[in-house]
Structure 1
Amino acid sequence: MPESPSFAAWLRTAPEPWFRAFAAYRTDLLRTDVTDVARLAALAASQAAVARGLESLDAPALRVVHRAAVLARIAPAVDRSELLAAAEDPAPEAALTSAITAGLLWPATGSGDPAAASAYRVQPEAGALLPVTAAARATPQPWQSAADPRPLRTAAVSDALLENAQGAGVAGAVSRALTVVAEFSDHEVSQLVSGGVGKRDAQTLARAAGTDTARFALLVELASYLGWLSTTRDPADPQWRPTAEFDTAAASPREQVWTDLVTAWLTHPVDIAHVLAGTTPAGERIHLLGRDEHARTAFGGFPSARPQILTLRRLVLVALLREGGGRALSEEDVVALLSFTHPLLAAVRTDEVAQVLDEAESFGLTASPLGHPDAHALTPIGRVLAEWIAAVDDPFDLLGSSPVNAQELASGPPAALREQIAALLPPLETAVTLQSDLTGVAFGPLDHTVSLRLERIADVDTRGQGTVYRFTDDSVTRALRTGESVESILAVLEDVSATEVPTTLEHLVHAAGARLHRIRVARARSVVVVDDPTDLDILLDDPVASAIGLRRLAPTVAVADASSDRVSALLETEDRPILRIDPDAEDPAGTRAPVPARAAPPTTRTTRVPAARIEAHINDLAAARAQPPRTSSPARRATSPSAAGASAAGRGTTAGSSGTTSTTSTTGAAGAAGASGTAAGEGAGNTGTGTAVGQDAAASADGDPQTVLAELGEAAAVSAPVDVILTTTDGTQRTVRMVPQSVSGGRVLGRTDAGKALRISVARIVRVRRSGSRDDEGSTRG
């Protein structure tokens, strides 16, 4: 029975179907610079690749790998029966096969069918990523008990209900978004020191917009991401205000507004559940419109390759598409399903999934059947969007995702969906019916400009497909205090009313105007005008005057250093109702915030093999694997000390080594390097432009970090002595003979022939060769 092989050694001799299955599954490892099996194996053994492989496993396969990583701390080869028992699944062989196909396990002994081997080895980095110590395993992980909930319980939902829900959701999302952003024009919202919006301000604005706090927070975050909201340039007191970009969006077709919102929802990594809680599971404080640089680390534990909330949103939609079959799934079943299929996704929690489903419903993407509020089904537009997501960047295919897919997703849904949205939206109403009970009724979605004019002088009593406005003494007084006059209010009512203005409403407006005192505040930062000089004397004697820098210019005129909004607020706190005059004058701070400058989108370059070339690349790798090992001549492999030293020094000079230095050849050797199809060359690294596959491409692999790691991994697997040629701090080279024991964290740990422990930084290693290989003959002494 052969000795326990390394992953690279097994990959070179694995049965053809197994090699092709591994390469087809791990498409994230297929790169134009990975041209032989040695590089492929070294890349698969890196921590990033192992992490992505673990993320792609379901719960039973993850339990198999975890058990292997735990037992590998005792012995490198783990018995098959131990792994099958760890799966805790009706089909444990399938879980074991998944782990092998992902390149996380491989047979330790024997030949033949890899799935039937008696023992297996595991990638060392799996132990660094999973809880393998006794202390770490003391806290149970959810995936250790996750079971497949399929077949799922479903509930029927009528087509009429889905169609009505999507129409109401689309119209409501557009209307709420425009209303929410417009509220920032009517309220003074200061920016926090940390850059966001205070909780009290958010609650006030949410009530004014007539929506709940969760949906308000979502729309504000998306509006900021789209450039509809920003801060003014006042260094003393920056305010959150709508931008000119918002004015453009408000004038755009409503289907375009909806498309922009949904695209931002799929690409902006803000977790509203964290915003509402004020903290992330990782313990970081977060608030509305705060910085989002922690999006990737919001959840502690396993490192994720992308922001988890984005993955969860896409997963929920695609899961409803594939598992619902046109019927509704319960929140509980969605959580159980995703916990089984994506056990390492920490965002799969009941509160997070419930928040995502609520957000999807607010956009008209999902609906709940009557009598089952906890069940959700995709609407027709939700199915179209989910199918597009699955085709562009399938969240269930983590390894097939690439930056190119993400860019395509950010470009927005297809034009066909936009046309479908446009057909759902009813025509806008431009007039309301004013009634003698002091209400105004819009019998359909109201034009945004008309609604903004009415909301200045009335309160929204009911929102929905139609809107009911209620005129009260407080609402009319509010309009008068923000710059309107009795005449302008009556003019607005006559302009937007489909009928005559009721007498009762006229009397209400005139009565509210008659009660206000004659203290007026004009915009000029700011000018206070009074009718009676005595009123101004009282104001100047008040301590508030010094706080706002109030100074008399004339018997009835004074100026202040604060904005007109602040002067008005301070005077009203002293029980001095005011009127604004000259409401159309421009405030020095600006009525619109500047549109935030967006950095140009980065140019995404990747060495990943395009999808159309994957099959051909796998064929080339299989053909290169079948070629017999070929060793190049010593003269071709020789590397000058200066060139090799410069290459190694460029990779890092911060680690040291200790031990005996043997006088051996500094050129490459056959041994494991020849078996892996690698030899020395002048171009080290993984960014070369050559695309050859096989022995010719491998001729330039010497010195490549992946090749070095592969050689060290193979030597550690069989406890074989190697000669490590490394660069010292002064740029010279030395050769150290050692027996590697482990390779992790960018360092190789081993012992010399005398038993002395060594720790060497991989960045300083120029080349590795097996000791005593025949390639040493006739080579140059170093």
Structure 2
Amino acid sequence: MPSLQSFNAWLAHCPEPRLRAILNTRRDLLRRDAANTQRIAGAAGTRAGVARGLESLDTGALQLACALAVRSRVTPVVSFDELPAGLDPRAFDTLADTALIWPAGAESQDSAEPASMRWRIQSEAVSLLPTSARDQSNPPAWLHAEPPRAPVMAPVSQAIARNAQAGAAAQVVGDIVALVREVAARPASQLVKGGIGKRDLMSYASRTGAGAHRSVLLLELAGRLGLLGVGGPDADPVWLPTNVFESFAAGDRAAAYARVVEAWLALPVEVGQVVAGRDGTGAVVHALSSLGHSPTSPFSGFPISQPVMPLTRYLLLTDLDALGARGGFAAAAAAIVEDFTWHHPLLPSADEPVLTEILAEAEYLGLVTTPLARPDSFGLTPVGVRLAAHLAGAMPRSGNPLPFDLERLTVPQGWTDLVAGLLPPLERTVVLQSDLTAVATGPLEPTVATALERVADVETRGQGTVFRFTEASLRRGLEDGLSAADVLALIAGAADGPLVPTLEFLIEETAARMHRVRLAPARSVIVVDDPDDLTQIVNEPILLTAGIEQLTSTVATARVSQERLAELLAAADIHTLGAQSEHTTTLPAPITAVAPIKRRSLRVGDRELSDFEAALLTERATGTPGTPAAPVTVADRLREASATGAEVVLETVSHTGEVSQLRLYPTAVTAGRVRGLRVRGHRGAAPAPLRAGAAGLSEVSLPLARIRSVRPAGEPGGTTPNPSAKGTEK
């Protein structure tokens, strides 16, 4: 067997440039209270440490890591000429700097070409990567992917980019306000598991004309902005606007747009999954169901350490900037997806439908745009370029190998002033047309838009809005308590000119067909203008359960609530006018301010890195080169023995609490278990060859939780206790 060295031993005497590269790349392994290579090596060999290193690799480096892991199942020492052809030898340096591989021999080989050296790989990589025969028979797409080709850029005029970002900034805030007002008009019951049901969602999508995907996005943004909350009676809680909604709707549009963009960046859900009703793990999801708790990853697959969807949006914006899809150029969506999946192959959201949906959302928000006649190409708008550059510079370097921090997903300074200069002035009037439509030539002032939406349907939203008056829309206003005179006055106040005769006629006819039946604000009092109308109501079979009692020729009472009586009258095709006075309103849902969580971290910051490096180099210089301190945990000791081929003595605890000993040559420590060759009746030097079936050796697999202590064979003391071992006696 060739001479071996563990990662712990190599890190203790590796060349200083390589050590500095590891410290700068793997800042997640460093702690201010542990400036020694032993702790760094132990953290790098854990499952979480290896997973964080792997998730930062691009496809080329990941293909090399996977090939090394597959070969290490046969032999712990791997050279480049043993690997499949077509791999990039330059990725050896990337893997070494990420603390995933190290030179196998005890002698220093760092001065040689990486492709000519013998390497070892962290054992946890074997279980995290597709290394088994079953995995290899159905390999992931990245395993045989080719490097992406340079995309062909399509030109985007500056005028189109400016109009796109200005129109989006004006529209998205208005769309959110309109949808929240629709929720206020028709509150949706909260589901038992939280969120809004599919029927209510489709109702909102139909009434606003936004479609299912856009409605889900708007609802989730409104929820994250604190504009929607749960209120109403405890027996039947419903979703309602919160007490901050009106200030948001009437506040500064540029500031509101900035809040919307920040909410989108941090949104934890994938819109397509919410529309479908299930996420990538098979769990049932609904709109707004992620509010109130920390949602789990919406995707199965590789265990990414960061929130998947916020990370994906951040990476997609910054990758577009790096790809050159900015400053008047756009790349095809297929090329963007190909480039993204090459650089982030283990990200479970690196899938064409998901990335295409995010690009569509970013276009809706005005962060990207498409050139004329090329709707399949996307490029960053000027505000998108500024946001991408800000995010790339804001992410910390002291976190994971892939720099990302959810709390730093913010817009840059001066963003509000930049957006304010793009927004067109608000319109306060609309142009009435003979086809029963009203056209706003620009974004409407919120109070005017809200008033018109009470009596008209919105046909088109955008920088301008088209309202259409129909019998159903006018009836909605009349049922809401307005009289025909109120409706005429409302429209006249918003019109830039006289009322159209056809519209006046429609309003009067609609009011006349509603039989002039009025519901008084008192509990179920019916007031009619014509005694014949009350006679019809009293004799209507559907209304027998209402317990109607006639008081006069035009007044009657009922034993049911006003809302229930209105439903029964509608079922009898008797339309009613709402109460003009004391019109009941639903109180807004309260919003609870959550105190920010203060976290204390032992991570090494940018300012502390030089001092940490100096302390670590001093620790290495004062110790014996190549002989680091003994590992302090069972897993570390087993990894050390596995890396060097050493024999250890384990104390294990059975499920009944019985303690026993066994001698073992560990071969791998992965996924919370140790695999190795158990020694039976053998003393002295290890048998050759060291494999299952050799004299006195048999293969075993043990959970680490059952190991109470471990010590090198031949040493009476020096045991390493495992405080988490099940059944340990106290």
Shorter-chain TM band: 0.7 to 0.9
- Match of 2:119, SS state, is strand
Among 677, 681, 687, the residue aligned to 2:629: 677
CA distance in 2, matches of 1:358, 1:676: 54
Change in Cα spacing, 1:562 to 1:98, as seen in structure 2 (3 Å) is farther
What letter matches 2:571 in structure 1? T
- Residues 397 and 606 in structure 2, CA contact (< 8 A), matched pair in contact too: no
Report the more deviating stretch, 746-755 or 733-742. Answer: 733-742
Residue identity (%): 37
Match of 1:746 in 2: 672
CA distance in 2, matches of 1:398, 1:608: 10
Match of 1:450 in 2: 448
Match of 1:284 in 2: 283
Distance apart, 1:37 and its partner CA? 0.8
- Please list, as runs of the form range in 1=range in 2, the aligned pairs for 1:178-577 lying within 5 A after superposition: 178-291=177-290, 295-324=295-324, 325-326=326-327, 327-393=329-395, 399-401=401-403, 405-409=405-409, 412-523=410-521, 527-530=525-528, 545=543, 552=549, 554=551, 556-559=555-558, 561-562=560-561, 564=563, 567-577=565-575
What letter matches 1:350 in structure 2? E
Distance apart, 1:103 and its partner CA? 1.5
CA distance in 2, matches of 1:199, 1:36: 55
Change in Cα spacing, 1:740 to 1:758, as seen in structure 2 (3 Å) is same
CA distance in 2, matches of 1:138, 1:759: 25
What are the Cα deviations for residues 292-344 of structure 1, in whole angstroms up to 9, with x where unaligned?
76844322221111232212111111111111252211110111011110011
- Match of 1:581, SS state, is coil
CA distance in 2, matches of 1:121, 1:312: 32
- Residues 366 and 377 in structure 1, CA contact (< 8 A), matched pair in contact too: yes
Distance apart, 1:747 and its partner CA? 4.2
Distance apart, 1:289 and its partner CA? 2.2
Change in Cα spacing, 1:198 to 1:2, as seen in structure 2 (3 Å) is closer
- Match of 1:415, SS state, is coil
The CA RMSD over aligned residues, in Å, is 3.2
What are the Cα deviations for residues 37-69 of structure 1, in whole angstroms up to 9, with x where unaligned?
111111000101111111111112111111222
- Match of 2:616, SS state, is helix
Distance apart, 1:550 and its partner CA? 5.2
- Residues 227 and 245 in structure 2, CA contact (< 8 A), matched pair in contact too: yes
Change in Cα spacing, 1:503 to 1:620, as seen in structure 2 (3 Å) is same
- Residues 72 and 122 in structure 1, CA contact (< 8 A), matched pair in contact too: yes
Distance apart, 1:470 and its partner CA? 2.8
Change in Cα spacing, 1:200 to 1:726, as seen in structure 2 (3 Å) is closer
Distance apart, 1:395 and its partner CA? 11
- Match of 1:33, SS state, is coil
Change in Cα spacing, 1:397 to 1:540, as seen in structure 2 (3 Å) is farther
Distance apart, 1:143 and its partner CA? 0.6
Q: Which consecutive residues of structure 2, in runs of 5 or more, have no partner in the other structure?
A: 682-695, 719-730
Distance apart, 1:177 and its partner CA? 1.3
- Residues 171 and 445 in structure 1, CA contact (< 8 A), matched pair in contact too: yes
What letter matches 1:29 in structure 2? L
Distance apart, 1:451 and its partner CA? 0.5
What are the Cα deviations for residues 644-696 of structure 1, in whole angstroms up to 9, with x where unaligned?
xxxxxxxxxxxxxxxxxxxxxxxxxxxx9xx2235xxxxxxxxxxxxxxxxxx
- Residues 171 and 462 in structure 2, CA contact (< 8 A), matched pair in contact too: yes
Distance apart, 1:568 and its partner CA? 2.9
Higher share in helix: 1
Report the more deviating stretch, 472-481 or 50-59. Answer: 472-481
Match of 1:715 in 2: 641
Report the more deviating stretch, 359-368 or 605-614. Answer: 605-614
Q: Normalized against structure 1, the TM-score is what?
A: 0.81
What letter matches 1:189 in structure 2? A
CA distance in 2, matches of 1:396, 1:93: 28
- Residues 36 and 677 in structure 1, CA contact (< 8 A), matched pair in contact too: no
Match of 1:61 in 2: 61
CA distance in 1, matches of 2:143, 2:75: 23
Match of 1:690 in 2: none
What letter matches 2:344 in structure 1? H
- Residues 181 and 242 in structure 1, CA contact (< 8 A), matched pair in contact too: yes
- Residues 711 and 717 in structure 2, CA contact (< 8 A), matched pair in contact too: no
Change in Cα spacing, 1:12 to 1:583, as seen in structure 2 (3 Å) is farther
Change in Cα spacing, 1:618 to 1:537, as seen in structure 2 (3 Å) is farther
- Residues 232 and 241 in structure 1, CA contact (< 8 A), matched pair in contact too: yes
What are the Cα deviations for residues 42-101 of structure 1, in whole angstroms up to 9, with x where unaligned?
100010111111111111211111122222222222232233x36x35xx1112222222
- Residues 168 and 364 in structure 2, CA contact (< 8 A), matched pair in contact too: yes
What letter matches 1:107 in structure 2? P
Change in Cα spacing, 1:503 to 1:62, as seen in structure 2 (3 Å) is same
Report the more deviating stretch, 445-454 or 65-74. Answer: 65-74
Match of 2:712 in 1: 770
- Residues 484 and 583 in structure 1, CA contact (< 8 A), matched pair in contact too: no
Match of 2:168 in 1: 169
Distance apart, 1:609 and its partner CA? 0.7
CA distance in 2, matches of 1:196, 1:551: 38
Report the more deviating stretch, 167-176 or 393-402. Answer: 393-402
What letter matches 2:712 in structure 1? R
Change in Cα spacing, 1:749 to 1:375, as seen in structure 2 (3 Å) is closer
CA distance in 2, matches of 1:208, 1:730: 64
Matched, 1:624 2:619: yes
- Match of 2:426, SS state, is coil
Match of 1:21 in 2: 21
Change in Cα spacing, 1:620 to 1:551, as seen in structure 2 (3 Å) is farther
Match of 2:99 in 1: 103
Change in Cα spacing, 1:748 to 1:474, as seen in structure 2 (3 Å) is closer
- Match of 1:399, SS state, is coil
Match of 1:666 in 2: none
What are the Cα deviations for residues 493-543 of structure 1, in whole angstroms up to 9, with x where unaligned?
232233233444333322222221233234566554445777667657767
Match of 1:606 in 2: 601
CA distance in 1, matches of 2:193, 2:646: 56
Change in Cα spacing, 1:544 to 1:496, as seen in structure 2 (3 Å) is same
Change in Cα spacing, 1:137 to 1:501, as seen in structure 2 (3 Å) is same
What letter matches 2:69 in structure 1? A
Distance apart, 1:406 and its partner CA? 2.3
CA distance in 2, matches of 1:141, 1:760: 29
What letter matches 1:13 in structure 2? H
CA distance in 1, matches of 2:231, 2:360: 32
Q: Normalized against structure 2, the TM-score is what?
A: 0.87
CA distance in 2, matches of 1:168, 1:224: 23
Change in Cα spacing, 1:344 to 1:400, as seen in structure 2 (3 Å) is closer
CA distance in 2, matches of 1:240, 1:541: 38
CA distance in 1, matches of 2:635, 2:376: 51
Change in Cα spacing, 1:162 to 1:321, as seen in structure 2 (3 Å) is same
Change in Cα spacing, 1:196 to 1:562, as seen in structure 2 (3 Å) is farther
CA distance in 1, matches of 2:118, 2:386: 47
Match of 2:9 in 1: 9
Change in Cα spacing, 1:765 to 1:202, as seen in structure 2 (3 Å) is closer
